[in-house]
Chain A
Amino acid sequence: MKKVSILMLIAVLGVSLLTAFTPATPAEAPPEQVKQTLVFSSRLFSPPQEQEYFINEIIKPFEEEHGVIVNFQIIDDQTLLDRAAVQQSTNHVTTDIVVAHNSRMAEWIEAGWVEDMTEVVAGWTDRTFSTAFEGQTHMDGSQYFLPVGADVYLLLANNKALDYLPAGAELDTITWEQYAEWGAAVAAGEGEGKVCITGIPAKSWIYMFGGTGLSYGAGFPDVNSEGAMEAWKVWETIGKAGGFVPTVLNIDSCVDPMMREESWLTVFHNARAGQVYASNETAFTLAPAPTGPVGTGSIAGVSGYAIMKGSANYDLALQFLEYLTRPDIQVKIAKGTGGFIPPVEEALEFLGNEAIDEVINKAVLVLENGVVSGVPAGDYQDWGAVKQCYDDIFEDTILAGADVTQARLDEGQTCVEDLLKTE
């Protein structure tokens, strides 16, 4: 045994020393004799099946057509920024294309780490990027990001909850008051709250509430306007009835609780709602988000492609982006990856009547007919901190079952406004 372990150790160390100074690919210049490699780092398409789909159905045809390799990596937004910071500050730019969320685009643009693509995009006449997201993808009239995979919020219910649906409520036209009533009824009937929101701080409660606020004519972010107050009242009803799942503060995505049937009701991100729905179509029902006096409000998010400044493969990167944003490819991506909405107007024409289209259709419905807002993250020092302001109100007022007071909301509003950038 002793000999074996020593031999093992020596073998491992020996091999590592031998190979220590001959990295597989030199960092500085990818060798010319092998295929050109495009590094594509994305926050989007992270679920494993989506990764598999994206690699095989989207990337592979491009690789074959151009005789190149696309190195596809999934990395979250913050790490993507950290990595970019290292690459830019040390002049080792090896990432070519990044996909960032719209709440983080401002950071990229302000840091000057992404290329201005205004003129190039002007030459692509077969596609029109939907204008809903210009506030984030553009700055001072220049376009830095090409939108991909837009999302809105949808209502997802476990069919077991349908028994408690308030009289007169129709799923496709349900109002927020009815939704609140519904959540309360489920709690009363089951003896346990079943409404899911993401309770872990700095996740997506702000968007869930933001949609409600928009339905009542509030802005975004807007904590204490009259409309916002009414929106808070909706959630107050659920809170007072003990309608939230008991573990709500540990939930960082409603996917798992919905699949485990710990929760039965939620209004959340259409792609994730689609994922749960797909796991058991006959057990779940999908509907547009509830409506309010001014319509169906929803926060719309989007991700965007950008080319890293200093990329050695700028031309190839551009070709790849041109390919990815073609309307037919956008639809293909949207269908294969859980119901994101293609943010290219022409793409909607390619939608069919299949099951996945139901998710996309409902989402499009919200996007087209609803009261939609983007995420003005760039106006704030740190968007995560803004989220926290909302989380605090949820935790100390709504979840605690207390009355929502104007004073508390004003405090929340101050919390948000204090985070505005000071120029």
Chain B
Amino acid sequence: MIKKKPTSLAKIIKSTIFYLFVTTLGVGILLPAFFLVSLSFLSTREAYQFPLPLLPALSAKYSLTFGDRGYLLSVYDDFDDEYQTVLDTAELEKMSVYMRSQIGAPYDIPDIEDRIAELESGTDPVYFKARKNLLLNYDLFFKVTRDAVPALIRSLQIAGMTIVISLSIGGMAGYAFARYVFIGRDALKFSVLFVRMFPGVAIALPMVIILANMGFYDQPIGLSLVYSVGSIALTVWITASIFMGIPESLEEAAQVFGATKFQAFLKITFPLALPGLAAAAMYAFLGAWNETVSAIILTQFNPTFAVVVYQTLLGAVGHVNLAAAGGLAMAIPSVIFTFFIRRYINQMWGGVTV
């Protein structure tokens, strides 16, 4: 039996402070994102209140009384602690639509009729409650965003192809960079920087026209080719770094034991480099996933997810909660991807430096 030294109080305090600090830091980093998430669950009415609710309400309290034009609908406001009138109408459908889309707490027309009957029978005002539909914005987003699912699949596919193109083309150069001494090696290193020095926005349109002329209009592969331009340069650096981290002697051993250079690469270096390459794919993925400018111009029947989101949100003036939901729907795949890729980052930036 091994006796453990009792943990000292100072140590406990120290580690508590440390974790408090780390937690605060994490919360600080995520705070803007938290509000974005929270916003995406708020109803339109909530989203335009001040102060903005930190969390969405789970139900809405209504009151109904007589109004100038018909019936006066009021909604309970938690912050002001009072009912506020919102609608004066005789049209029950309008009232129902309003409750569904603005308050986010739907109430069916027959139920409204019941409440009105109560009101007519002398109870004034009539109070009632409705459950909030928290996913209202997401519902609306996917309802309005036509072909969201095929676009989502297409976007993943384009991101995947971008990864394949930039990792294969960039990876080949990265491998050459890591394993060979050749004329122009340093030039390659700095040209990677130079590609990034030229403002990409200035040549986006001409680049798209080149591709369209080559017959890649409205084809996923065409977009992948555009996105690869941006990501190949960085991939060269990152993959060079990865390959430098794999001892050359492993490959040489394979050659001595009967493998061709290509077999040696395929059977030894490639499987070993795979995790690092997966991480390198992150840059290609994020770039391809989030891009809209070229995608809008270059697609017609096969839009990417970013394009359909853009199309939906273009008109989301007065609808920030919907914009938040759309933005988050777009962010989810990249966040998941980031989660899986994070442990391989040290392979990416280990070797090549300026």
Classify A-B as touching or not with yes or no (CB < 8 A): yes
Known: A95-B300, A260-B50, A261-B50. A5 touches B278 (CB 8 A): yes
Q: Report, as a range, how many residues of chain A touch the other chain.
A: 35 or more
> Does chain B have a CB within 8 A of A259?
yes
> Does chain B have a CB within 8 A of A167?
no
Assembled-state Cα–Cα distance A20/B300 (Å): 17
Interface segment among A21-29, A241-249, A387-395, A403-411: the answer is A21-29
A: which residues have CB within 8 A of B? 1-2, 4-6, 8-9, 12-13, 15-17, 19-21, 23-25, 27, 30, 37, 39, 45-52, 55, 71-76, 79, 82-83, 85-87, 89-90, 92, 94-95, 253, 255-256, 259-261, 272, 275-276, 279-283, 354-355
Q: Is the interface of B mostly helix, strand, loop or mixed?
A: helix
Assembled-state Cα–Cα distance A82/B102 (Å): 35
A sample of 12 inter-chain contacts (CB < 8 A) reads A6-B275, A25-B218, A48-B144, A74-B311, A74-B314, A83-B296, A86-B209, A256-B320, A279-B45, A280-B102, A282-B72, A282-B86
Number of interface residues of B (CB under 8 A): 68
* B315 & A74 in contact (Cβ 8 Å cutoff): yes
Minimum C-beta distance from B345 to chain A (A): 13
Minimum C-beta distance from A329 to chain B (A): 21
* A83 & B297 in contact (Cβ 8 Å cutoff): yes
Known: A23-B220, A24-B150. A16 touches B317 (CB 8 A): no
Assembled-state Cα–Cα distance A19/B318 (Å): 39
Minimum C-beta distance from A86 to chain B (A): 5
Closest chain B residue to A56, Cβ basis: B143
Contact residues, B229-277 vs A (CB, 8 A):
274-275
A residues near B217, Cβ cutoff 8 Å:
27, 86-87, 90, 92, 94
* A20 & B221 in contact (Cβ 8 Å cutoff): yes
* B341 & A5 in contact (Cβ 8 Å cutoff): yes
Minimum C-beta distance from B211 to chain A (A): 9
Closest chain A residue to B342, Cβ basis: A5
B: which residues have CB within 8 A of A? 44-45, 48-50, 67, 69, 72, 84-89, 91, 94, 101-102, 140-141, 143-144, 146, 150, 154, 156-161, 163-164, 205, 208-209, 212-213, 217-221, 224, 274-275, 278, 281, 296-298, 300-303, 311-312, 314-320, 322, 340-341, 343
A residues near B158, Cβ cutoff 8 Å:
16
* A255 & B301 in contact (Cβ 8 Å cutoff): no
Apart from A13-B163, A20-B220, what 17 extra A-B contacts exist at CB < 8 Å? A4-B340, A12-B163, A17-B161, A20-B161, A23-B302, A24-B154, A27-B300, A47-B319, A52-B140, A74-B311, A75-B314, A79-B297, A83-B297, A92-B212, A261-B50, A282-B85, A354-B91
B residues near A255, Cβ cutoff 8 Å:
317-318
